[in-house]
Amino acid sequence: EAAVTQSPRSKVAVTGGKVTLSCHQTNNHDYMYWYRQDTGHGLRLIHYSYVADSTEKGDIPDGYKASRPSQENFSLILELASLSQTAVYFCASSWDREGERLFFGHGTKLSVL
Amino acid sequence: SQWGEENLQALSIQEGEDVTMNCSYKTYTTVVHWYRQDSGRGPALIILIRSNEREKRSGRLRATLDTSSQSSSLSITAAQCEDTAVYFCATDPLSGSFNKLTFGAGTRLAVCP
């Protein structure tokens, strides 16, 4: 079974602080994604990557940066965390084929105070 | 936006009943994914239907796709308590050479008291 591991599982951050969320996949997948989920809503795409050392903006990239140092690792960076970034963040990976399924991690619950 | 319904819908049924969840989308897609999310977990693909298929079955699940009305449905036959979860549909509006899924708000299904 494909595996996507996120760390930490939960985090409390202060407004204006820097937050880094990490994701590691052992699937040998080309594509990796960061989604955000707010209570009562679906997932929204923040950033994605289809190759190491390259990232692309998703639908809601403002306030977030991403880093893909290797095929296995994909990080989401909040340089100046804000209250509005309180949410659950999911990392996912997929094969490089149209219509392929996404494999999600368990999520990181981020609370910005 | 991509979706006809923006807010999480909620359904509550008794064990043994059949249930159908619907979603509509506004942008052309070649595939509709249906994901299931259990509490505290990441979404997991349960069924995928392509634009050249009108219906797809997997065990007690049945997905339909009507490209003319840009809508899809997911039916569960004889629902069981363990079907309790949030169900999302997702499309690939760019239908290009990579996955960039857009998720709907989802339906929270409660089976059993």
Q: Tell me which residues of chain A, numbers 1 to 60, contact chain B at a CB-CB cutoff of 8 Å.
A: 4, 31, 35, 40-45, 48, 50, 58-59
What average pLDDT does the segment B57-69 reach? 95
Complete DSSP assignment for A43-65: EEEEEEEEETTEEEE-S--TT-E
Pairwise pLDDT comparison (B91 vs B6), residue with the higher score: B91
Predicted confidence at residue B1, as pLDDT, reads 42
Contact yes or no for B8 and A101 at CB 8 A:
no
| Residue contact A42–B104, C-beta within 8 A | yes
Average pLDDT, integer, range A37-63: 92
The lowest-confidence range among B23-37, B49-63, B65-79 is B23-37
d(CA B26, CA A80): 34
Q: Model confidence at B94, in pLDDT bands (50, 70, 90)?
A: low
Q: How far apart are CA A21 and CA A107, in angstroms?
A: 10
pLDDT over threshold 90, residue B64: yes
Q: pLDDT category, B99, cuts 50, 70, 90? A: low
In the predicted model, what is the mean pLDDT of chain A? 93
Q: How high is the pLDDT of residue A41?
A: 80
Candidates A4, A41, A101; nearest CB to B48: A101
